[in-house]
Amino acid sequence: MHIPDGILSIPVLAGSWAVSATALTWATRRSKKELDQSLVPLAGVAGAFIFAAQMIQIPIPVVAGTSGHLLGGTLLALLLGPAAAILVMAAVLTVQCLLFQDGGLLALGANFLNMAVTGPLVGYGMYRLLRPITGRFHLVIATAVAAWTSMVAGSLLAGLEIGLSSPIHVTTAMWALGGVHAAIGLIEATATALICSLSFRKEAHVPLWQSRWNQEVQTVEQALSPADGRPEPDQPPTKRGRSKTAIWMAVGGGSSLFLALILAQFASKLPDGLEHVLESFGIRPGPPRFPAPMPDYSVPWLAGWPGKALAALLGLIGATLLAFALSRFVGSSQRSNESESPGDHTNGDEED
């Protein structure tokens, strides 16, 4: 669903960039408040995993001649929180665009909006809506429906953008893209439900980021001194907490390497859902706005599997570093704000 350059009109490009910039600003500010420090390293690994998973194109039997892949917006929102998920998805899309020409540079704002913003927000909102009413099986049902809905919502938005930018009627473009991605969304639903069922806290089916946030709040409440009501100095992470983080990073990193270096080599060569619809409408993308160093996920001077494997490895590193850097930035801002708060209270007490 990566829209290339030459498809969208200038007003649509400008509008999508404006909305995406607003959403990214909100996500940055929100992440400064809610992103747990223990999840910062995992955000980098999550970026690598989503990058690798999106390389796995799977044939869609329902729509002949089409393939699809995981987007991962809902998955990230349930693991890291919706705000952090937007930042990680934006990091992955940026690496795909700049290094591999997957999605246009001018259209990057639209791709942010369709995948990095709509996916996490719609998916997480749908999960919150369904969780109380889906009974004992709410984990599987709610996550699967939320993931499927987020995929379809992003495709409908892409159809709206294409319809507003071409002779194709808006309704026709939205129905075409939405219909194809309704089938591709089954991949999104299955993968998201499976991964979340393994990562949520089993006793309460609480998303990973909320589970850690709640544990942090409980730890602070227990550390309050009855004498003055002020928290004691921050304690270093426990050995158990560090080991859990290490396990998550090892599993995520290993899975990312396996997906990108091994499984991606057997990915389907069929066009994805967006390419299939554009071809059916006779819409051709324009020329690339800049020469990407590794177009089509392959190193030009290294043929065969080694070239594709090296490109995948470089992409993994880029996605990991950028996602980690963004999370580290908002995490460090959170720490600085928290460290300033006690001093502010102290000065206020002295003045009183």
Residues of the chain with pLDDT under 70: 134-137, 200-245, 331-352
Helix (H) or strand (E) holding 68: strand 67-68
Query: What are 236's two structure tokens?
Result: 């270093």
Residue 224 is classified by DSSP as B
Phi, psi of 62 (to 5 degrees): -65, -35
Q: What pLDDT does 95 receive?
A: 96
Amino acid letter, 295:
P
| Model pLDDT, residue 122 | 97
pLDDT, residue 242, reads: 57
- Residues forming a β-bridge with 59: 67
Residue 351 phi, psi (nearest 5): -65, -35
Angle at 184 between CA 12 and CA 64, to 5 degrees: 105
Q: How many Å apart are CA 174 and CA 32, to the nearest integer?
A: 35
Contacts of 184 (CB under 8 A, 6+ apart): 60, 63, 66, 68, 69, 151, 272, 273
Instruction: Tell me the CA end-to-end span of the chain in Å, nearest whole number.
Output: 59
**Residue for token pair 């006793």:** 203
**DSSP state, residue 102:** -
Residue 111: other Cβ atoms inside 10 A? 28
**Whole-angstrom Cα distance, residue 225 to residue 232?**
7
What is the chain's mean pLDDT, rounded?
83
Backbone angles phi, psi at 130, to 5 degrees: -85, -25
**What is the rounded CA–CA span in Å between residue 71 and residue 204?**
26
Answer left, alpha or beta for residue 230, where phi above 0 means left and psi between -120 and 50 means alpha.
beta
Q: What is the 3-state secondary structure (H, E, C) of 120-158?
A: HHHHHHHHHHHHHHCHHHHHHHHHHHHHHHHHHHHHHHH
Indicate the domain borders of the chain: 10-210+247-335
Q: What is the pLDDT of residue 24?
A: 96
Q: Beta partners for 272?
A: 67
Tokens of 208: 């990973």
Tens-place pLDDT, residues 131-172: 888 666 677 889 999 999 999 999 999 999 999 999 999 999
Q: Architecture of 10-210+247-335 per CATH?
A: Orthogonal Bundle (1.10)
Q: In sequence order, what are the residues at sequence separation of 6 or more whose Cβ sits closer than 8 angstroms to the Cβ of residue 20?
A: 109, 110, 112, 113, 116, 117
Tell me how far apart the alpha carbons of residues 289 and 72 are, in angstroms, rounded to a whole number.
Answer: 27
String of DSSP letters for 169-198:
-HHHHHHHHHHHHHHHHHHHHHHHHHHHHH
